[in-house]
């Protein structure tokens, strides 16, 4: 948008709209940072646990020193492309 719309003039906006910014590189699909992916998981996980749709069972240690968390999701099944779907 480069021209100020007439209805915006009545609202007091007289400046030309600035050019849009490009999206953050970390938000491109497949290039998200581990911290971003964890934040995206934690947001719905809390609601799912409160609504008894998921449960965190515990964690396990791998030989390489990493820790994994065991989460159960109720009433869903894995699909061929590694997503979850209701049966």
CA distance 10 to 13: 7
CA distance 49 to 43: 11
CA terminus-to-terminus distance, the chain: 45
pTM greater than 0.85: no
Residue 11 has pLDDT above 70, yes or no: no
Residue ranges of domains in the chain: 53-87
Question: Tokens representing 60?
Answer: 């396990």
Residue 13 has pLDDT above 70, yes or no: no
For 2-38, give the DSSP string: -S--HHHHHTT--SPPPPPPPPPGGGSTT---HHHHH
Name the residue among 77, 83, 75, 36 with its Cα closest to residue 55. Answer: 75
Which pLDDT band holds residue 3 (cuts at 50, 70, 90)?
low
Higher pLDDT, 21 or 50: 50
Residue 28 has pLDDT above 80, yes or no: no
Place of tokens 């999701």: 73
């Amino acid at each position: 948008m480069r021209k100020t719309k007439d209805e915006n003039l009545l609202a007091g906006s007289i400046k030309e709209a600035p050019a849009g910014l490009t999206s953050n590189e970390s938000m491109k699909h497949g290039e998200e940072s581990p911290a971003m992916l964890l934040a995206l998981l934690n947001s719905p996980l809390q609601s799912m646990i409160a609504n008894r749709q998921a449960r965190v069972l515990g964690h396990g240690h791998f030989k390489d020193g990493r820790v994994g968390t065991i989460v159960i999701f109720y009433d869903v099944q894995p699909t061929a492309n590694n997503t979850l779907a209701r049966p």
